Amino acid sequence: MKKYVLLFLLVAIFDRVQAQTDALVNYNEQRLQITRIGMLTLGGWAISNMGVSGALMSNSSDSRYYFHQMNVFWNVVNVGLAGFGYYNAATADPSAFILAESIQEQHSIEKLLLLNAGLDVAYIVGGFYLLERSRRESAQAERWKGYGQSLLLQGGFLLLFDAVLYTIVQQPSSELFTLLSSVQLTPTGLGLIYRF
């Protein structure tokens, strides 16, 4: 009889651990999917900007030329970042992350998006600065005006992108807290809570 009780307890514990493992893998799959979609969005924006501005740059003059030129330059970097981010999310194995790594990844993404949002505000401020500088300096006025307008457009898009992505990334993190609720630290060690 003791063997059956012990076997039952072991099966119940294994079932609970397996359920938590499945939930963690599902969480990581969702997090990586959000990242892939985000990087495809950023890459799509960058490629379309480069195509449109590249085509319009050859027929533009004055500040419009510099606006399109900066859009192309700016989005070369965005394509690189989007490609790198997509590759990392596409090649990551959702089952390879333990709970601590999943938490660390979640916090890293959140911090990166908040840092990016701060940089986006700096880009917008830089755009306003260049527009103001174009009003005072006549020799490079068209260049500063075009670059400033481009920075306003690119910074505005990136700020919106990072804010929306941050909001979306926050949603599945509640699943992570559910997983954490079964782990308890005690003065003597770490325990797994099993509720019937």
Section 13-25 average pLDDT? 59
- Angstrom distance (rounded) from CA 77 to CA 83: 10
Dist. CA 120–CA 152, nearest whole Å = 9
Structure tokens of 154? 């690119």
Judged against a pLDDT cut of 70, whether residue 116 lies above it is answered with yes
Q: Please say whether the beta carbons of 142 and 63 come within 8 A.
A: yes
Q: What is the pTM of this model?
A: 0.79
pLDDT tens digits for range 142-190 = 999 999 999 999 999 999 999 999 999 987 666 665 655 555 555 565 5
Handedness of CA 187, 188, 193, 194 (dihedral sign): negative
The string of pLDDT tens digits covering residues 37-74 is 999 999 999 999 999 999 999 898 899 999 999 999 99
Q: 191 versus 118: which is more confidently predicted?
A: 118
What are the two backbone dihedrals, phi and then psi, of residue 140, each rounded to the nearest 5 degrees?
Answer: -115, 20
Amino acid code (one letter) for 145 = K
Q: Which residue has the tokens 């501005």?
A: 53
List own/partner pairs for 16-21 with CB under 8 A and 24 or more apart: 16/182, 16/192, 16/194, 17/192, 20/179, 20/182
Six token digits for residue 12:
């119940």
Please say whether the beta carbons of 144 and 130 come within 8 A: yes
Q: State which H helix or E strand residue 61 sits in.
A: none
